[in-house]
């Protein structure tokens, strides 16, 4: 009887391998982006047509390839990255095994154009379903462009298996996001059907996250960091009050790769225990660096699960690190310097240029010797842009970071200002009640049987929040017309989401209309709303909905009402008139839930006679 075992032809082997590596356009996106990063690129462009079905093109300005390497790169097990099985354990580069390009080329029409800096001419190579078609010299800039056309053109069954464009595009964007979040120092762009979806300049990690997920995220991020022998932790976690009803932005990266580690996700979630309501989920972007030898690399390249030695230790370290950062932030939650850089830049007055900030420190100044450090008023002092909290302000036990205001002694030293500078006491005519504003942030009045203490900003947030909610429930809000309408572009799937929300947005005062395909014009904003915050807010709203498709539109609008209230509430440090104080007291007690701010913090405290007795014992 004849022998029956046959070696599979290469192209068949490649197609079988492709079944594992290339599941959908997004898999190709991932492999090509990672190759471009490995090639040392500083700028990478991704172009898609029809969610990658028709075209996936990645252009980088990295090393480029020689003519021979370009041909070889499509061979199975062709890689410049590992030479022996041992290398697998120490590999730091992204791709491994050298099978991505061979697999991709077996199921698509592929063109590579590449040139190394040292070569005068580059080369263009065409391959179709693993078959070499042509090779020609070309003129091009240093770097490489891979164009993958008509994915699965030769395997109709797989092509039919693809989902609709919105779903496939979502997968592509996900892969793109996972890559760009690890390489903020690299410029990226993503274009789909001729429209720019993302353009991400090289930036800090914080700004990269914000550029991807929207400006509204900016004030919500708390940095984390911890170094130990077994792991280095860095990144950002979301403030508890912004936890979501669905798992949204939860990212782990180990050694610069996106991974899913349910065990460590649990560590993070347990750090939030008691800080967020049950069944809500924190956002996080956490980066772990571990010894590559402590990772189980014997996992498939397309899998995102990973096994780590030391998981138990890392669990404990991670939980403690997140806890600590959230704790520090809780001490001084509301003044966020980075937030100022984005939202609160005052318009410069050309006739009255701001003085150059000078920093003078009195070396003898010791906040502990101040009898009443928490009362040093500060909030009218505006910070130079880009300044960040140094160590010393932590010395102040106040919830908000206070800074000595700008009183300068004759010798030029910065002196703590008069403690009572922002205390106001009013005794309105015809009223026995005094109205007091303390330190520019606490409102105080007498009750029949005690004292009422109110946090002005939180109280105002509560008042506005309920007002916006009632507007959403059908009471028309007033809108303030803009002189120059603001226009926004949203990518098609997001534009759809936004269109569905337009009636609700109008109710709360956003005079929004469609201005051509996927473009929107804002002609008016809710009264008092800052123009500069509008785009971030809409982006955040759409993002919320995209991230949690299951949640009801109402829950998004509730979040929106809270965001608007936060935006418009009077800031701590703003001096209020007697009328304004009275108004806050009156409106607060007209609220359904006067006691807490929309994010669950106390707005008021009543000190009864008994409380006062206890205090004075």
Enumerate binding residues for ligand ADP (CB under 6 A).
Answer: 31, 35-36, 39, 60, 62-63, 65, 73, 78-81, 95-101, 144
The stretch among 92-100, 145-153, 268-276, 319-327 that binds Mg ion (CB under 5 A) is 92-100
**Beta strands 284-289 and 232-238, pairing class:** antiparallel
Closest CB to ligand ADP among residues 97, 158: 97
Window 312 to 351, contacts with Mg ion (CB under 5 A): none
Which one of 18-26, 95-103, 267-275, 425-433 is the stretch in contact with Mg ion (CB under 5 A)?
95-103
List the single partner that 455 binds among Mg ion, ligand ADP, none, CB under 5 to 8 Å by kind. none
Q: Which long-range contacts (CB under 8 A, 24 or more apart) does 603-608 make?
A: 603/454, 603/455, 603/458, 603/459, 603/461, 603/462, 604/452, 604/453, 604/454, 604/455, 604/459, 605/452, 605/453, 606/447, 606/450, 606/451, 606/452, 606/453, 607/450, 607/451, 607/452, 607/453, 608/449, 608/450
Nearer to ligand ADP, 78 or 591 (CB): 78
Residues 506, 542 contacting (CB under 8 angstroms): no
CB of 278 within 8 A of CB of 228?
A: no
60 vs 466 by CB, closer to ligand ADP = 60
The CA distance from 456 to 469, in Å, is 20
If one asks whether residue 95 binds Mg ion (CB under 5 A), the answer comes out as: yes
**Residues 34 to 63: which contact Mg ion by CB under 5 A?**
35
- 451 touches, from ligand ADP, Mg ion, none (C-beta below 5 to 8 Å by class): none
Considering only CA atoms, give the Rg of the chain.
Answer: 29
Write down the least CB distance from residue 40 to ligand ADP, Å. Answer: 8
Query: CB–CB of 445/585 below 8 Å?
Result: yes
Q: How far is the CB of 52 from ligand ADP (least distance, A)?
A: 17
DSSP string of 513-551, one letter each residue? EE-STTEEEEEEEETT--HHHHHHHHHHHHHHHHH-TTS
Using CB distances below 5 to 8 A depending on partner kind, what does residue 184 bind out of Mg ion, ligand ADP, none?
Answer: none
d(CA 427, CA 407): 29
Of 2 and 118, CB closest to ligand ADP: 118
d(CA 443, CA 459): 10
DSSP SS3 for 246: coil
Give the HSE-up count for residue 244: Cα atoms under 13 Å, Cβ half-sphere.
25
Q: Between 56 and 576, whose beta carbon lies closer to ligand ADP?
A: 56
**Nearest-CA neighbor of 283 among 324, 341, 224?**
224
Residue 98 or 450: the one with the smaller Cβ distance to ligand ADP is: 98
Task: Work out how close the CB of 192 gets to ligand ADP at its nearest, in angstroms, rounded to a whole number.
Answer: 21
Residue 27 or 567 with smaller CB distance to ligand ADP: 27
Of the pair 95, 536, the CB lying nearest ligand ADP is at 95
Q: Which of Mg ion, ligand ADP, none interacts with 144 (beta carbon under 5 to 8 A by kind)? A: ligand ADP
336: partner contacted, choices Mg ion, ligand ADP, none (Cβ within 5-8 A by kind) = none
Partner from Mg ion, ligand ADP, none contacting 249, C-beta within 5 to 8 A by type: none
Smallest distance from ligand ADP to CB 163, Å? 25
User: How many residues in total does the chain contain?
Assistant: 617
CA dist 137 and 121 (Å) reads 6
* Spatial CA neighbour of 233 closest among 304, 316, 175: 316
456 binds, among Mg ion, ligand ADP, none (CB under 5 to 8 A by kind): none
Name the closest residue to ligand ADP (Cβ).
95
Partner whose footprint covers residue 175, from ligand ADP, Mg ion, none (CB < 5 to 8 Å by kind): none
C-alpha distances in Å from residue 7, one per residue of 4, 11, 60, 167, 255 = 10, 11, 37, 38, 38
Identity of the residue, 95 or 536, whose beta carbon is nearer to Mg ion in the bound complex:
95
Judged by phi (left if over 0) then psi (alpha if -120 to 50, else beta), residue 292 lies in alpha
3-state secondary structure 384-452: CCCCCCCCHHHHCCCCCCCCCCCEECCCCCEECCCCCCCCEEECCCCCCCCEEEECCCEEEEEECCEEE
Which CB, 62 or 377, lies closer to ligand ADP? 62
Span from 60-68, 94-102, 122-130, 551-559 in contact with Mg ion (CB under 5 A): 94-102
Cβ-based nearer residue to ligand ADP, 33 or 216: 33
| Lookup: tokens for 563 | 């965001």
Closer residue to Mg ion, CB minimum distance, 52 or 95: 95
The minimum distance between CB 112 and ligand ADP, in angstroms, equals 8
Binding mask 349-378 for Mg ion (x = CB under 5 A): ------------------------------
State the minimum distance, in angstroms, from the CB of residue 325 to ligand ADP: 36
**Number of residues in contact with Mg ion under rule CB under 5 A:** 3
Determine how β-strand 284-289 pairs with β-strand 250-254. Answer: parallel
CA–CA separation, 415 and 138 (whole Å): 69
Query: Which of 51, 65, 100, 259 is in the footprint of Mg ion by CB under 5 A?
Result: 100
Q: Which is nearer to Mg ion, 93 or 398 (CB)?
A: 93
- Contact stretch for Mg ion (CB under 5 A) within 3-11, 32-40, 429-437, 482-490: 32-40
Burial class (CB in 10 A: 0-12, 13-18, 19+), 466: buried
| Residue 583, token pair as written in the block | 């108004």
**Minimum separation from the CB atom of position 597 to Mg ion (A):** 49
- Smallest separation, CB 43 to ligand ADP (Å): 12
Residue 39 binding result from Mg ion, ligand ADP, none, given CB thresholds of 5 to 8 Å by partner type: ligand ADP
Please give the residue ranges that form the binding site for Mg ion (CB under 5 A): 35, 95, 100
């Amino acid at each position: 009887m004849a022998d029956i075992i046959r070696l599979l032809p290469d192209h068949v082997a490649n197609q079988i391998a492709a079944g594992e590596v290339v599941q959908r356009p997004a898999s190709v996106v991932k492999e090509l982006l990672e190759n471009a990063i490995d090639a040392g690129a500083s700028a990478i462009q991704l172009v898609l047509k029809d969610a990658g079905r028709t075209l996936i093109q990645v252009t980088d300005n990295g090393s480029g390839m020689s003519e021979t390497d370009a041909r070889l790169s499509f061979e199975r097990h062709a890689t410049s990255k590992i030479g022996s099985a041992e290398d697998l354990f120490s590999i730091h580069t992204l791709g491994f095994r050298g099978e991505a390009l061979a697999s991709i080329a077996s199921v698509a029409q592929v063109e590579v154009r590449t040139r190394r800096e040292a070569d005068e001419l580059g080369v263009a190579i065409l391959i179709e379903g693993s078959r070499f078609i042509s090779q020609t010299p070309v003129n091009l800039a240093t770097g490489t462009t891979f164009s993958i056309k008509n994915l699965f053109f030769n395997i109709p069954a797989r092509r039919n298996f693809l989902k609709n464009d919105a779903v496939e595009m979502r997968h592509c964007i996900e892969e793109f996001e996972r890559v760009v979040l690890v390489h903020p120092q690299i410029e990226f762009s993503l274009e789909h059907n001729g429209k720019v979806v993302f353009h991400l300049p090289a930036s800090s990690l914080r700004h990269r996250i914000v550029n991807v997920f929207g400006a509204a995220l900016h004030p919500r991020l708390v940095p984390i960091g911890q170094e130990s022998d077994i792991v280095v932790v860095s990144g950002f976690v979301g403030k508890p009050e912004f936890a979501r009803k669905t798992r949204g932005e939860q990212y782990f990266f180990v050694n610069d790769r996106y991974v899913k580690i349910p065990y460590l996700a649990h560590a993070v979630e347990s750090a939030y225990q008691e800080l967020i309501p049950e069944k809500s989920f924190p956002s996080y972007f956490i980066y772990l660096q571990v010894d590559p030898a402590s990772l189980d690399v014997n996992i498939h390249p397309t899998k995102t699960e990973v096994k780590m030695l030391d998981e138990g230790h890392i669990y404990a370290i991670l939980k403690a690190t997140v806890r600590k950062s959230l704790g520090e932030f809780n001490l001084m939650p509301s003044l966020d310097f980075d937030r100022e850089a984005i939202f609160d830049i005052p318009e410069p007055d050309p006739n009255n240029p701001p003085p150059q900030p000078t920093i003078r420190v009195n070396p003898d100044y010791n906040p502990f010797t101040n009898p009443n450090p928490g009362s040093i008023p500060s909030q009218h002092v505006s910070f130079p842009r880009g300044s960040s909290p140094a160590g010393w302000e932590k010395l102040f036990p106040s919830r908000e970071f206070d800074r000595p205001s700008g009183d300068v002694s004759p010798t030029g030293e910065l002196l703590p200002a008069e403690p009572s500078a922002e205390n106001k006491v009013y005794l309105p005519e015809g009223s026995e009640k005094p109205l007091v504003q303390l330190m520019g942030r606490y409102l105080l009045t007498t009750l029949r049987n005690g004292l009422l203490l109110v946090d002005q900003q939180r109280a105002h947030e509560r008042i506005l929040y309920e007002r916006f909610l009632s507007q959403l429930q059908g009471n028309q809000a007033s809108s303030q017309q803009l002189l120059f309408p603001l226009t926004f572009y949203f990518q098609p799937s997001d534009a759809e989401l936004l269109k569905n929300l337009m009636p609700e947005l109008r109710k709360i005062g956003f005079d929004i209309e469609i201005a051509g395909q996927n473009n929107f014009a804002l002609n008016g904003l809710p009264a008092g709303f800052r123009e500069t915050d509008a785009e971030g807010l809409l982006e955040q709203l759409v993002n919320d909905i995209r991230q949690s498709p299951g949640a009801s539109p109402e829950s998004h609008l509730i979040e929106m009402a809270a965001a608007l209230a936060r935006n418009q509430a009077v800031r701590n440090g703003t001096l209020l008139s007697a009328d304004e104080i009275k108004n806050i007291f009156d409106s607060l007690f007209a609220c359904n839930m006067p006691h807490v701010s929309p994010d669950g913090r106390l707005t008021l405290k009543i000190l009864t006679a008994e409380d006062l007795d206890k205090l004075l014992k």
